[in-house]
Structures are given as structure tokens and as C-alpha cells.
Amino acid sequence: MIEKRSWRAGFYHKTGYSINCGIIWPMYVLGIETSCDETAAAVVKDGHIIVSNVISSQIDIHARFGGIVPEVASRQHLLSIIPVVDHALKQASVTLGGIDVLAVTHGPGLSGSLLVGLNTAKAISFSHGIPLIGINHLEAHIYANWLSLKSPSFPLLCLIVSGGHTDLVLMKEHSEYDLLGSTRDDAAGEAFDKAARILGLGYPGGPAVDTAAESGQPNLDLPRAWMKGTYDFSFSGLKTALLRIKQSGQIVDVNDAAASFRQAVVDVLVHKITDAARKYEVNQIVLSGGVAANRLLRNEITRRSNVAVAIPPPFLCTDNAAMVAACGYYRARRNKFHGLDLDVKPALRMA
């Protein structure tokens, strides 16, 4: 078991551990994530070593409805949050007394779901005197790339591609972001989910389209929205084109249709990010978010980029709390703590 430490407002004292310029080493961060349909908790050491990582997925519950039902999601978080946090601490062989910082997602996401994670974190923070940090879920996705032995090198370009967002971000330093472009309509993950529904591939749609596409040929003529002169994206026209083709009975093989759709999304994502990487002369490209688990996207970006590419393993691309803890570590090193008046921000943006 990791030993207990005491904490006083704005000042750390940790028995048996070294304190260097206000930085605790080693530092154990407990991350909590409940922004959507995964209840997750994780313990991360020094910002990059995953000591435990527990995820309770609600996929089976929402599959019946063909998508996430917000009220059902928040009720399920309520049932799962305490067991999930307990499990993460046990898996890490640590008690709350051994946790130095508590990092919790406070936006963006479903308000009812965010409230469960945030209020749990506040209660733990208050009762155990553990400093609290609210984390932007999108920023946490980027920090999944720090959960490895080799940290990414700045300046870097990050593509956040999830169910709710498609953002291209220039990151010059920790916590320094320039938003270069975003989707103007559907996010890439949302487009994959809608395509799966059109093709009858079930829920969750992204992995289903990806798997079907592996056995198909991209032989359908689908449009690409290049949004010339910008780093913005648009995927709703592509989804509508797929729907029209389906309604006109032109789809002979569903795997070919899935492969064509996946190719169209990936072509645009890879073109934009490689173009921006050249323009901004970055050292590295990093991918993050659920769609970064997509097999074609992973292969194509690696093949077509002139600079190093980092992509988290698929289990760290989708929602998890290890990425929240990793982000919390870099915030803590800059003394960016929050008070107990921290609130949820369902519409929080990247920059």
C-alpha cells in the first residue's frame, strides 16, 4: 500500500516522499471520467504510468435505444461511480490517503453525467483533503498520448476526433492551444454512427463500420467536403449522400458501402492534418478521441505524414480516466487547482 500523506491549503507535505520546487515525486493522480456513457476511474503515476484503469461501459444498456439516452446514462453513472472508484484504488493497491491529486472531467459532455463524476470528486476532495482539478475532456483525449514511455514533442498538431468533436489543434506547449479548425456540422464519430444506422450495422456505429469496411472495397462514389482555404470539416453531406444511395437501392454489398464511407472520412482527415503539419512546421502529429481507433485512419496518417505520428492504443483512444489523470498531472505541476465551487461546463470548448 502507498503510504498516507497530509495536505494543507496550498502546501504539500508528504511523509517519505521528496518535494522538489513544489512538485511531488512520485505523484499519484486519481482520474474520474463520466462525461458520456462510460463510468471510469484510473490511477496514474507521474503523468504517464497507468497504475490502474477501470471502465464500466453502458454500451449494452444504450444499444437497445440505438444511441445514448442522457437520463439513463446519468442514472447508470450514479450506480457505478463508487464501485468503479473503489476498484481503481484496489487495482492500484492504494488508498485515498495515497492519492496526491484528484482530476475530474467537468466538460464538455452530458450535464447529468458530468454532475455525477464532479460531485463524487468534490466529496472525496473535501473529505480527504485532496486537491481538485477540473479537466476539459477534449484536452484529456490529447493527453492519452502522454501515457507512454516517450512524450510527444512540441510544437505538435493534434486531431481530436470523437463522437462529439472534430478539432484540429496546434499545441505549442503544455496548456497552450490554437484551434485551427472544427467541424461545421457532424463530428466524425457522429457521422460514423449515423452511417452505421443507415447501413443497419448496429450500435456503436464507428467500430461496426470499421469492421465491415475491412472486408469491403471502397467502390462507391461518395463526396468529400474539402472546405478549401480552411481547416474546418463537414461530414453531414457525406452522410446524406450515403442515405440517398441506400434509398435508391444501389448498395449491393454493405461491406463495400462501409469501406467507401470510411475512405471518404479518412481522406479528408488525413489531407487536412498533413497539410496543416507542413504549414505550421510541427515536430509531430498526434491523434486522439474514439475515431483515432479507426484502422484505416491509423494506417493512412502514419503512411502519408512527413513527421512523426503518435496514436494511443485503441483502448486509450475511447473514453477513459487514465487520460484525465495524465492531463491532471501536468495541470498540478503548474498549480492549476480548482475550488469546491467548480461547476460542470457541458459546452466547454478547446480554445
> Does residue 193 interact with ligand KG4 by CB under 6 A?
yes
> Does residue 192 interact with ligand KG4 by CB under 6 A?
yes
Partner in contact with 235, chosen from Zn ion, ligand KG4, none, beta carbon below 5 to 8 Å by kind = none
Closest separation in Å from C-beta 319 to Zn ion:
4
Partner in contact with 242, chosen from ligand KG4, Zn ion, none, beta carbon below 5 to 8 Å by kind = none
Q: Which of 129, 84, 93, 124 is nearest to 3 (CA)?
A: 93
Whichever of 36 and 104 has its CB closer to ligand KG4, that residue is: 36
Residue of 53, 162, 260, 274 interacting with ligand KG4 (CB under 6 A): 162
The answer to whether 66 and 345 have CB atoms below 8 angstroms apart is no
Residue of 31, 107, 163, 181 interacting with ligand KG4 (CB under 6 A): 163
> Does residue 270 interact with ligand KG4 by CB under 6 A?
no
Print the binding letters for residues 314-333 with Zn ion: x by CB under 5 A, - otherwise: -----x--------------
> Does residue 167 interact with Zn ion by CB under 5 A?
no
User: For 163-220, what is the HEC assignment?
Assistant: CCCEEEEEEEECCEEEEEEEECCCCHHHHHHHHHHHHCCCCCHHHHHHHHHHCCCCCC
> Does residue 139 interact with Zn ion by CB under 5 A?
no
Backbone angles phi, psi at 50, to 5 degrees: -80, 115
* Cell 470539416, located at residue: 233
Closest separation in Å from C-beta 26 to Zn ion:
27
Whichever of 167 and 319 has its CB closer to Zn ion, that residue is: 319
Residue of 131, 207, 216, 328 interacting with ligand KG4 (CB under 6 A): 207
